[in-house]
Structure 1
């Protein structure tokens, strides 16, 4: 059975739509129809019942789907091993990153990766964590780096880096030199939040709930879809916000923002690598993940070797 026809068949079966499969595979709908028809003729059976409103998978197609996935997966494994044997360190890497990772964490990793593998072409899509998962499921990217442990039966998640969320304010917003703020003071302050669906917002919602606070208990002044926009609003003195400590290194050095920890509560979370369960990782993807893990281990070793006072 033809590899491309099987990939087309799997896409139609998963999407229950010829048009959606065409979008996913970047081909025309007539091409999809032609490949499915050829596969049906080859097997001597009908694979889909088509009406004007929907596409339904037949019993024969359900049997084929299980084996088609295995055949495509074995084909991908074979291609991958051949490429590795020939030491081909070129190719393409499609990546999706949530905003905090894409803007403040990823550049360092990309610099090292491009130095090691200059012939691998990288495309990065920046979106919130839920959007990155959807890009993975639609096969528009090879791997995702996200801030929220989103549960999905089609996705594998693996933590790769610990992050701390801090409260930020303009330097003169709160009086005194204390770098700790009570949750009561947070409750009384006007808050600028990231939008629902972002990893940072999900983590903050979790800790607010843990503290017994709902959105109704907080003074949410506005929601913004950009960390840079949030920092600019906070710098103006309009309110305070929760963001990743990694996102304010420059502003702290310049004295534009001050970071606060919440009294008796550590707002810690992990960043996650995400990829599809039923897909063989491309060699370029594996090389990037190896680089990522190597840099993270170096960072962790460096932190653990620092004197206690410098943490």
Structure 2
């Protein structure tokens, strides 16, 4: 059995007080527990550490040699503990997260609020980037955990599914199709004839929409390109356009009645890339 910090702490307390009774009082243990730990330590080292003089325990040469090493080791252990806890005893280590854009904007705020209730004092740093950048940060140990909605292409990372999402087609409640879908499903022909809002070419969101819709519609009547999901949401709410966005990204405006999710004859649309 290897020696423990507990044994060394007891040894130092005995050396300081000169008795097992004094050590027991100082470190809040029973005298029998102190005596047992000291005997275990001497047994592990195959040597006596104290000379017994009456009721007093006096360090011998072996004990004095160990005292310096034990004191330094215990000081180092305390230094390690202080590195992980602040002056109030709260964890000082920072939780570093990487999030892809949709998660960072629409999912992470709720996660952070719930986590803060459980861990009120843990420092948190969040980096928002695209899926590839977050995956690279995880692989390089620059963040503790990455939350992504796109596929992970890094062979060294094992992704774990944690949240279901999908692409949905939305429009303003004032759009003609918003009233029509209550009576029948919107057809592919109607979707092809509608005007669409899309992200700029080359963006992950644009690729996600094209991968989700083009296999069924073959073409999109793109009317306006916009540079952010927020811009697309609020423009769609004006009543003239359709948009295809992550369900998580639109749930706030759907709940507020500013956008409607259309019921179409398309199958469920998975989320294949960054948002």
TM score, norm. by length of structure 2: 0.58
1:227 aligns with 2:229: yes
- Distance (Å, rounded) in 2 between the aligned partners of 1:187 and 1:135: 40
- Give 3-state SS (helix, strand or coil) of 2:161's partner: strand
1:178 aligns with 2:184: no
Q: Which runs of 5+ in 1 are unaligned?
A: 1-78, 273-311
- Distance (Å, rounded) in 2 between the aligned partners of 1:116 and 1:130: 30
Report what 2:127 is aligned to: 125
Q: What's the CA shift for 1:169?
A: 0.8
Report what 1:144 is aligned to: 146
Q: After superposition, give the CA deviation of every residue in 1:13-38 in whole Å (9 maximum; x if it has no partner).
A: xxxxxxxxxxxxxxxxxxxxxxxxxx
Report what 1:93 is aligned to: 95
Number of aligned residue pairs:
187
- Distance (Å, rounded) in 1 between the aligned partners of 2:190 and 2:212: 15
RMSD of aligned alpha carbons: 3.3
Q: After superposition, give the CA deviation of every residue in 1:188-218 in whole Å (9 maximum; x if it has no partner).
A: 22222235443x44443332243262xxx22
Q: Which runs of 5+ in 2 are unaligned?
A: 1-79
- Distance (Å, rounded) in 2 between the aligned partners of 1:132 and 1:219: 33
- Distance (Å, rounded) in 1 between the aligned partners of 2:256 and 2:217: 35
1:268 aligns with 2:270: yes
1:135/1:255 CA distance change after superposition, 3 Å: same
Report what 2:155 is aligned to: 153
1:114/1:149 CA distance change after superposition, 3 Å: same
Query: Could you say which structure has the higher strand fraction?
Result: 1
Q: After superposition, give the CA deviation of every residue in 1:266-285 in whole Å (9 maximum; x if it has no partner).
A: 1234899xxxxxxxxxxxxx
Report what 2:106 is aligned to: 104
- Distance (Å, rounded) in 1 between the aligned partners of 2:267 and 2:155: 32
Report what 2:4 is aligned to: none
- Distance (Å, rounded) in 1 between the aligned partners of 2:263 and 2:150: 21
- Distance (Å, rounded) in 2 between the aligned partners of 1:186 and 1:263: 10
1:244/1:261 CA distance change after superposition, 3 Å: farther
1:156/1:202 CA distance change after superposition, 3 Å: farther
1:135/1:193 CA distance change after superposition, 3 Å: farther
1:94/1:221 CA distance change after superposition, 3 Å: farther
- Give 3-state SS (helix, strand or coil) of 1:250's partner: helix
The one of 204, 210, 213 aligned to 1:205: 210
Q: What's the CA shift for 1:126?
A: 2.0
Q: What's the CA shift for 1:139?
A: 4.4
Report what 2:169 is aligned to: 167
* Aligned residues of 2:175 and 2:240 also touching (Cα < 8 A): no
The one of 250, 253, 259 aligned to 1:251: 253
* Aligned residues of 2:246 and 2:271 also touching (Cα < 8 A): no
- Distance (Å, rounded) in 2 between the aligned partners of 1:127 and 1:222: 25
* Aligned residues of 2:136 and 2:154 also touching (Cα < 8 A): no
- Distance (Å, rounded) in 1 between the aligned partners of 2:176 and 2:270: 23
Q: What's the CA shift for 1:91?
A: 1.4
- Which structure is higher in RCO with an 8 Å CA cutoff and minimum separation 6? 1
- Distance (Å, rounded) in 2 between the aligned partners of 1:234 and 1:240: 6
- Give 3-state SS (helix, strand or coil) of 1:236's partner: coil
Runs of 4+ in structure 1 over 3 Å off: 87-90, 134-140, 194-197, 200-203, 222-225, 268-272
